[in-house]
Structure 1
Amino acid sequence: DAGQYWENISDGYFTASSVGALEVAPADPNVIYAGTGETTIPIDVSIVDGFYKSTDAGRSWKHLGMKQTRQIAKIRSHPQNADLVYAAVFGHAFGPNPERGVYRSKDGGETWENVLHVSDQAGAIDLTIDKNNPRIIYASFWQAYRNFWQISSGGEDSGIWRSMDGGDTWQCLTGVKGLSPDSSGGTRGVGLPKGLLGKIGLAASPAQPGRVWAIIENQPDGGIYRSDDYGETWVVGSKDNRFISRAWYYMHLTADPVDPNTIYINNLNFWKSTDGGHNFTEITTPHGDDHDLWIHPRNNQIMIHGNDGGACVSLNGGLSWSSIYNQPTAQIYHLDFDSHEPYYVYGTQQDNSSLRVPSRSRYSSITWEDCDIIGSGESGYIAVDPDDPDIVYVGAIGSSPGGGNSLQRYDHRTQQIRLIATWPRSSTGLGAQADKYRFAWTYPIAFSPHDSNTIYIGGNQILKTTDEGQSWQEISPDLTRADPETLKPSGGPINRDAVGAEHYATVYTLAESPHEPGVIWAGSDDGLLHVTRDSGENWVDITPPGMGDWLMFTMIEPSPHDPATAYVTATRYKNDDYAPYVYKTTDYGASWTLIVDGVASDHFCRVLREDPQREGLLYLGTEFGLYVSFDAGDNWQRFQLNLPVSPIYDLKLKGTDLVVATHGRSFWVLDDVTAIHQFSDDIASKTAQLLKPGAVERHLPKVFEGLWQAVYEHAGHGGGLRQGGDARARRQAQLPRQRREPAQGRSHHLLSVRSAGVDHHATH
């Protein structure tokens, strides 16, 4: 329906969440190939598991294996043979591996052969087939990697390759190691840039045999190039830096299937050329950060565009687009909630604003109109003032006005953003060593559980404010390793990229004890744990011994039941180590125990919470979903239910609700864990067990004037029913007490009357 309604078709089949390549076979549209893993390799790149295939237009899927290919950039099938398929495989984003290059399958993906391998450090990043002669294939290779503090784009193994025989043999068009047009002394690839090459996008024209475009990262000759003789010679179209900025994140070309002179570029903005790639005009899309484009092969007015906001459809060549606000694909970093009833869930979204969403609605659905934008944060934590839910603090490095280590105080009543960063200088464009305070892309923000006027934030030091961010006090020394090699500007060897995403050697997680004021735990992204028991006067290094270098501590959870107990999650996934790391201490960090029995060996961990109502009941968020433990972490089991497979970046408990922030599938709520509180080995061994229910609430439409709410609590029982009723039908009541909420400007009168063994409480 042209983008009006989107439906998920992979849940229940895919065991990984990130899809980097899709191909609907031109020879049979019922055949769809999917390659998992995104190859923009951003800061939040996910770990995946190979290829999938559907032969019934997406109604069911089969896993084709090839898990170690990791990030799959492109899949293309033969125009007349749906079983002949090619894949550009980038491989591991965080280290070398042999499963890279161009792969070919002649049996519909059942078996694969690596028909072009350049090195263990460079993978295939794009692949295009000449539709007029499908034996002619072009592929580009990209030497790149990422770790916690750096992204590198470009190297001697980057280049463009061509096959004239369906992938049996290949010729390098950019020369061996990028040093000459052709190592054999021929004239192949004349006109292409020399020297080190970075990321390269390719597009063969379906409308003109032999025409192929390339967008190339290079200094000083990066830009758009075109060949009209199958890659033998090239001419430069444009060297406009806007088309090749932040090359590792963009660099996608799409050739018009009808007009041989029309080519599209996806970058920060979306561009179109109608003169063969020399001059371009910008096309407005619903969201910036443009990545992908599909054009109908017979009607070039019909397009599907992919950007950081979602997918959108145009029926008029890009003059107008369908909405992007109809796809639950938000990548949430961290969450919080407030004291409203129903409560709101707050979160920060990658490449979108921070927002709040009601946990439930009185109507049939929760719509975009029910939600609110909360500041302009993107990448950080979010914390709601416990005394005033209209005041929200948002970490906003990614998209905030002011940039750098920005922190926002947002007032929902006035919709005013006040920047309260600890230091006014923007660090954009600089390395971490230039900062007075180093802040991670997602630095922690936390209210003290003992004093709602106190807020803590984590940079390389911990700072606190007691006046809503008007002034800040250092309460710790540098709590990181601060290795100088990890503090340099990111990027290279061709272009730098320093927007703050790779700032390292920071306090990545912190928490104050809910039992003892001044007991603060802190974990760094470069492998150190500390605790203070005197509000920051003295700090003790409590790093678990023997854990390995460069472990990123992702979350600290002080036990709500025992002041000496705490849990931490950690990961080394950006060092190509995907193992789970979860530690527990019962003596303020003097000793630690690794507690990962039952967690899959490559399900690295991001967050852990202990249930406040049952000691030892733990919830663990991993890259592939949720786990639960009933014995304080001694044993873990999957707790997925209908939760989509997705990275879980945060989770919290609101009463008996478990609220989950997924990075790719938005917010999810398990709205009553009362049964989980009662679960035991004895119950598990029974055929059936009737469990005590939790409180139930029902909200009816406002169909009567003077509607009121009543809570019916059956004497001696824990259940209840909240229901609307006509105010004229209420019984005589007394006013035992009054509760004032200044932030709402409303007075709540709690009325009580008893009849027939039922207590009636009304709020108006």
Structure 2
Amino acid sequence: MRDIGYSAGGQVVLAATDVGLFRSIEGGLGSAWQLKDVQLDHDPQEFWSLGRVGGQVWVATSIDLPNQVGSVVGRVWRSTDDGASWAQITNFTPVADVTDVRRMTVAVSPSDSANPNSARVYLLAENRDETAQKDVFRSDDGGQSWSALGVNSTGVPVNRNDDQSNLDVMHDQAFYNQMIAVDPQNHDRVLVGGNLCLVRSLDGGSTWAIMAHWLPGTVTVNGAPAAMPPDTYVHADYHAAAISYATTSLVFYAGTDGGMFRSTDVFTAAPGDAHFEDRMNRGIVTHLIYSVASANERADTAACHVPAATLDVVYGGFQDDGTRLRVLPADGDPTVFNQIVGGDGFGVGMGCASAGGQVGSLLINTFPSELARSLDGGGTFSLAMTGIGFALDPGFTFFMKVAQDVTDTNGKTFLTPLTQAGAQIGHVFRTTDGAASWTSINGTIHCADSPGCFTTASAVPSPLRNVAAHPKSAGRYAVVSTSRAYVTADAGLNWDETVRVYPDSVSGACAQPSSIAFDPNDPAGNTVWVASKATRTSNSCTGGGQPISAAVGHLFKSTNAQALLSSRWTAVHGSGATALPNVPINVVKVDPGDSQTIYVGTEIGLYRSIDGGASWARYGTGLPLVSVTDLSVALDGSLVRISTFGRGFWEIYAKPGGSPAGVLGNGDFNFDQVIDGIDLVREAALLLTTNADADYNAVGNLAGTTNAIDETDLTALVAKLGGRP
């Protein structure tokens, strides 16, 4: 889901998604959503943004599929009948710009909604090659024609600096950070956010000023220090915006990689002197997290100790908020996650730095196409790329994955899947010395039927996505490429290729795997699970094609993964009311102690099966509909921790009494920003529950040091009655 909007009466709802534009005429309720075929040639479109101009007039943007750099263009669409039909708009000035755009974001002017055919509309666009900001386009006829404003590298802000010397605020991340907003009461007042800065126009896009900066204290002009005021700080990478007059005065909200930021003078302050604050983030967990690792994933050994005090240590990589470690001091404070590395954090691993050491003394993390390690529990990190002797393809190693081999009693064995730049072939690297050095373990690839695969080859013939180690059988590893799985039973000396991951072995379609996991009860490593986060399937395995049907789904199992051409995949999503939703799956894990218990982290939450995949249900209460990016399952299956993209870390215990408490709740069960009788009734109903109970809800855990709701929590809630949460 990219964007959503509704008609004046609320009955028509439009949803922009990566598989097309959907329309409901029932207020979004029920199952009568219709996928709109907007293109006369029936080419599939990935919709990004939409806006209701006024009346029944809408403007929307899409890009062509398949989604391949340089081969697609962005498109602008207009509807005059509340989205029932659409016409492509190609009236651009300059004319050539219509073929040099890709992702675009729409911003409409609510003050013009009464006259949609003369309404002001803006488009923020990246260029076709995804290398820069193309421009901001303006329409004064409700989206029927568009003119470029020169808001790109050719324009200059009135208060330029060395970080933002021109008006290309999105730079080469235009595919990722796009934000544009219009003052609802004045269509000449516009804001555009990119990766580092926010710029403002008060005259409909003619002139612009920098109003916010990620690092205002370090700003220079022509090399000389020229710090912006500290209140102009807003975290990098803008994604969303809202402007409200609910309190009669204007309030601007920006959603970035660092949470929400608010300003009341962004349109009235002098250039470069707006005031922003982020207090509303307190109590709202919005971290974007890619990975999670816990100390309790491995057994306590003489060479790598896992004392009880370390079982609740949690480690994860954050989008633009560093790699963070939860360290429990003597008195216990599980709400603190120390940022031990800055920037982007992706894959993580946890082990022991020396013989007889404690788990967590060795920490591994990844940056874009780089690995690093710490030998002092996160005190210092150093680059850990020794042995990797080729350039990496950032398209596949930007989000570098790491898997730990818990069968290594020394706590020093880890794996990472790499893709070589240029050749786009896959290599599996392993370290057995805590990332002091890495060695390719590709060995010999035994082919099934993939093009370009030769049994004498020592590289996978396509890019690699993810890797896993068997939790009980040493030397058994598995990786997934863009179409297949590869399994080794001898620590990489030989790899067996499977047929394409797809339940139909003859059509040639594939599901583009995202994650792989072993069945712990199959010591031979023939039984593996593979998840897919694709939304479309095609024979090319690179994107595009038809939406993945419910019959195919996103989770697959093979019981003969080492059978080469005879290997087969079965869709495992259940049926009926207990079926797994047909949504992308980021990660699959199997309980190390119970092969019938499978967890999948989907785009809408965590799902669990306790019968080997025959039936599924959302696991645990209180977890939002959020993308689950990674899973950590305790060695004894008693604890599951997850990382989410937008709502932080979550954990659920199977043991009674509760673990050390996470972030305390605020008592606002219905999220209406008032503590009232409804919240009191809910609290009373949950008395004496812990996080081992199915109906436990952390919102009611206001006090104490364990995940439990008791008399102290009820007392704390009563004290807040009538007030803000």
- Give the TM-score taking structure 1 as reference length: 0.60
CA RMSD of aligned residues (A): 4.5
Distance 1:289 1:483, change over 3 A: farther
Distance 1:378 1:141, change over 3 A: same
Choose which of 303, 307, 320 in structure 1 pairs with 2:276.
Answer: 320
Measure the CA separation in 2 of the matches of 1:478 and 1:412: 37
Deviations along 1:129-186, one digit per CA (max 9) or x if unpaired, are: 45xxx33735133223466xx467843x7125364x87788775524xxxxx6xxxxx
Query: Which has the greater radius of gyration?
Result: 1
Choose which of 106, 122, 126 in structure 1 pairs with 2:45.
Answer: 122
Gaps spanning 5+ residues in structure 2: where? 113-117, 154-167, 214-232, 267-273, 296-305, 419-425, 454-460, 538-546, 658-691, 694-702, 706-725
Measure the CA separation in 2 of the matches of 1:221 and 1:521: 42
1:506: which partner in 2? 464
- Matched residue type, 2:251: I
1:602: which partner in 2? 582
- Matched residue type, 1:417: F
Choose which of 75, 82, 94 in structure 2 pairs with 1:158.
Answer: 75
Deviations along 1:209-254, one digit per CA (max 9) or x if unpaired, are: 7433333345699312334455576553224142454444344321
Say whether 1:660 aligns with 2:634. no
Please list, as runs of the form range in 1=range in 2, the aligned pairs for 1:341-740 lying within 5 A after superposition.
341=310, 343-357=312-326, 366-367=334-335, 370-376=336-342, 378=344, 380-386=346-352, 387-396=357-366, 400=367, 403=368, 405-411=369-375, 415-422=379-386, 439=397, 441-447=399-405, 449-450=407-408, 451-459=410-418, 460-477=426-443, 505-506=463-464, 508-512=466-470, 514-515=472-473, 517=474, 519-541=475-497, 547=505, 549-550=509-510, 551-552=512-513, 554-559=515-520, 562=523, 566-571=527-532, 573-574=534-535, 575=537, 576-577=547-548, 579-583=553-557, 585=559, 594=570, 596=572, 598=574, 599-600=579-580, 602=582, 605-613=585-593, 615-623=594-602, 624-630=604-610, 633=612, 635-638=614-617, 640-642=619-621, 644=623, 645-648=625-628, 649-655=630-636, 657-664=638-645, 665-673=647-655
Measure the CA separation in 2 of the matches of 1:605 and 1:160: 31
Alpha-carbon distance, 1:306 to partner: 1.3
3-state SS of 2:580 partner: coil
- Structure 1: 4+ residue segments shifted above 6 A: 106-116, 165-171, 189-192, 423-426, 480-486, 586-593
1:199: which partner in 2? 103
Answer whether contact 2:470 2:518 (CA < 8 A) is retained. Answer: no
Deviations along 1:529-567, one digit per CA (max 9) or x if unpaired, are: 334344333334455896555442612225167455643
- Matched residue type, 2:478: A
Say whether 1:174 aligns with 2:155. no
Deviations along 1:674-710, one digit per CA (max 9) or x if unpaired, are: 89xxxxxxxxxxxxxxxxx99xxxxx999xxxxxxxx
Answer whether contact 2:466 2:479 (CA < 8 A) is retained. Answer: yes
Deviations along 1:284-341, one digit per CA (max 9) or x if unpaired, are: 3542110121112475641222122333333443512224453234343332112334
Say whether 1:306 aligns with 2:306. no
Say whether 1:263 aligns with 2:175. no
Say whether 1:90 aligns with 2:16. yes
Say whether 1:140 aligns with 2:60. yes
Measure the CA separation in 2 of the matches of 1:604 and 1:113: 20
3-state SS of 1:579 partner: coil
Deviations along 1:455-480, one digit per CA (max 9) or x if unpaired, are: 33222222223444333222214869
Distance 1:344 1:327, change over 3 A: same
Distance 1:362 1:484, change over 3 A: farther
1:697: which partner in 2? none
Alpha-carbon distance, 1:117 to partner: 3.0
Alpha-carbon distance, 1:378 to partner: 4.2
Measure the CA separation in 1 of the matches of 2:497 and 2:51: 54
- Matched residue type, 2:640: V
Distance 1:362 1:643, change over 3 A: farther
- Of 440-449 and 381-390, deviating more is 440-449
3-state SS of 2:373 partner: strand
- Of 305-314 and 214-223, deviating more is 214-223
Alpha-carbon distance, 1:381 to partner: 2.6
Measure the CA separation in 2 of the matches of 1:652 and 1:310: 28
Deviations along 1:49-84, one digit per CA (max 9) or x if unpaired, are: xxxxxxxxxxxxxxxxxxxxxxxx231443xxx446
Would you tell me which structure has more strand in proportion to its own residues?
Answer: 1
3-state SS of 1:222 partner: strand
Distance 1:331 1:152, change over 3 A: farther
Answer whether contact 2:316 2:323 (CA < 8 A) is retained. Answer: yes
Measure the CA separation in 1 of the matches of 2:416 and 2:36: 51
- Matched residue type, 1:522: A
1:742: which partner in 2? none
Distance 1:588 1:440, change over 3 A: farther
Distance 1:162 1:347, change over 3 A: same
Measure the CA separation in 2 of the matches of 1:510 and 1:249: 29
Say whether 1:74 aligns with 2:37. no
Alpha-carbon distance, 1:263 to partner: 0.6
2:176: which partner in 1? 249
Alpha-carbon distance, 1:419 to partner: 1.1
Say whether 1:280 aligns with 2:180. no
How many equivalent pairs are there? 546
Answer whether contact 2:235 2:256 (CA < 8 A) is retained. Answer: yes
Measure the CA separation in 2 of the matches of 1:540 and 1:228: 60
Deviations along 1:58-116, one digit per CA (max 9) or x if unpaired, are: xxxxxxxxxxxxxxx231443xxx446563x43443xxx6xx37x58597878888999
Answer whether contact 2:237 2:256 (CA < 8 A) is retained. Answer: yes
Distance 1:136 1:530, change over 3 A: closer
Choose which of 143, 148, 153 in structure 2 pairs with 1:236.
Answer: 148
Alpha-carbon distance, 1:353 to partner: 2.0
- Matched residue type, 1:523: V
Distance 1:192 1:263, change over 3 A: farther
Measure the CA separation in 2 of the matches of 1:508 and 1:410: 23
Alpha-carbon distance, 1:407 to partner: 0.6
- Matched residue type, 2:619: Q
Answer whether contact 2:373 2:382 (CA < 8 A) is retained. Answer: yes
Distance 1:563 1:212, change over 3 A: closer
Measure the CA separation in 2 of the matches of 1:572 and 1:113: 22
Deviations along 1:261-285, one digit per CA (max 9) or x if unpaired, are: 3211132232212232133233235
Measure the CA separation in 1 of the matches of 2:97 and 2:318: 38
3-state SS of 1:292 partner: strand
Measure the CA separation in 2 of the matches of 1:587 and 1:229: 59
Alpha-carbon distance, 1:579 to partner: 1.0
